[in-house]
Structure 1
């Protein structure tokens, strides 16, 4: 037990140096992770998606899978403690540069280093409200893709590079989540950051209980 505690302190000190969190906040996040995983010290895709949906109010299935990939730096199909803290540091407290890289990685669905016209279509298809009409709804999505490309494709090669994306967002910050919500809302960020800053075991228990209640509700539906 004492050895495990020493290892946790060492990990917290290391993560403090590479994230936007103070040491006591990292320790809070590590305890939260242990509570959510029941000491398994790794989080699978389903549990991670439940946390994104229930706690961080994300709803897009495609993007939640991509957020998982963005957190899972070692590509082992699990989120470990370090990935949990580092990922949360980015989406909860990251600067604009960190968030731009994160959002681009989420939107680059096939991981080839570009956001293609096809990927834009795939992500934007659900963002348009389907109107009862004879017009092909896909045509409206295609129009939106072309408008987006015109706005963001700075080198005119019909796809977005990281440089295109960065330049477009720097000119118009609202384009950061142009292809769907992959960052938590201001309200969620404020609430979560307060919970972590206070570093209260009671708050962690409430977070865990809320997560469990939401999971039970979903299973009952």
Structure 2
């Protein structure tokens, strides 16, 4: 969720644009499923949860509407898209990586998808349910600035110890460059991820202790116009 001013900040901007396309793909998939469903039967939203192939049935749409910032209609569309990709009602990490790779065919998205899966799998049971998916998506798309920045910090804080180290940020940056692919940035140097990390820490690590805390992260992001603009890219995705 972060974009650095100047330097190689364009990598983040491209990533956010690709993410917009990703979420729209889920939406369109759900809308197509919804149209087909409406033509074939007039069942209620709750009937969607009664499929024999579903191993995990989500909570009611009314309850999910209360817990997220989506309307019932939006949840229905998202559920149909999720169900189309994950008929069992949950997705494991391997399948999540396979789905995510469709959005970045030009590179290797497996490592970034791993980090993203860890962020969505909040109860750490090795699978992402529809509830996990929409709770995370609600924060990313409809959350406050603080909500989104907290979610992004949690994504980058790989060992969840409350701070981001250079090693963690380097792993994140390498995964992003791998995902974007050499065809996206053919002239990118091998040391580009490390340079980006150094730029990140120069901007974020205010007390120069070698780690970035959540307070430093949020404060620095709010002062960066590029970061704020990149976060707004998600405002009208759904």
TM-score (norm 2): 0.61
CA deviation string 1:172-210 (max 9, x = no partner) = 143479xxx9x8x94x875x52xxxxxxxxxxxxxxxxx
Aligned partners of 2:125, 2:59: CA distance in 1, in Å?
23
Classify 1:11/1:20 alpha carbon distance in 2 versus 1 (closer, same or farther; 3 Å): same
Alignment-derived partner of residue 12 in structure 2? none
Aligned partners of 1:124, 1:88: CA distance in 2, in Å?
22
Q: What's the CA shift for 1:103?
A: 1.1
Classify 1:28/1:62 alpha carbon distance in 2 versus 1 (closer, same or farther; 3 Å): same
1:164 aligns with 2:206: no
Alignment-derived partner of residue 62 in structure 1? 111
| 1:1-221 paired onto structure 2 within 5 Å | 5=47, 11-38=60-87, 40-55=88-103, 60-125=109-174, 127=177, 130-131=188-189, 138=191, 142-175=194-227, 186=233, 193=238
Q: What's the CA shift for 1:145?
A: 3.2
**C-alpha contact (below 8 Å) 2:93/2:117 kept by paired residues:** yes
Aligned partners of 2:100, 2:214: CA distance in 1, in Å?
25
CA deviation string 1:62-106 (max 9, x = no partner) = 322111111111111111121121122223333322221111111
* Structure 1 unpaired stretches of 5+: 132-136, 194-221
Q: CA RMSD in A?
A: 3.6
**C-alpha contact (below 8 Å) 2:58/2:130 kept by paired residues:** no
TM-score (norm 1): 0.65
Question: Of Structure 1 and Structure 2, which has the larger fraction of its residues in helix?
Answer: 1
**C-alpha contact (below 8 Å) 1:103/1:176 kept by paired residues:** no
Classify 1:157/1:89 alpha carbon distance in 2 versus 1 (closer, same or farther; 3 Å): same
* Structure 2 unpaired stretches of 5+: 1-42, 50-56, 178-184
Aligned partners of 1:23, 1:63: CA distance in 2, in Å?
30
Classify 1:172/1:35 alpha carbon distance in 2 versus 1 (closer, same or farther; 3 Å): same
Q: What's the CA shift for 1:141?
A: 5.2
Classify 1:91/1:47 alpha carbon distance in 2 versus 1 (closer, same or farther; 3 Å): farther
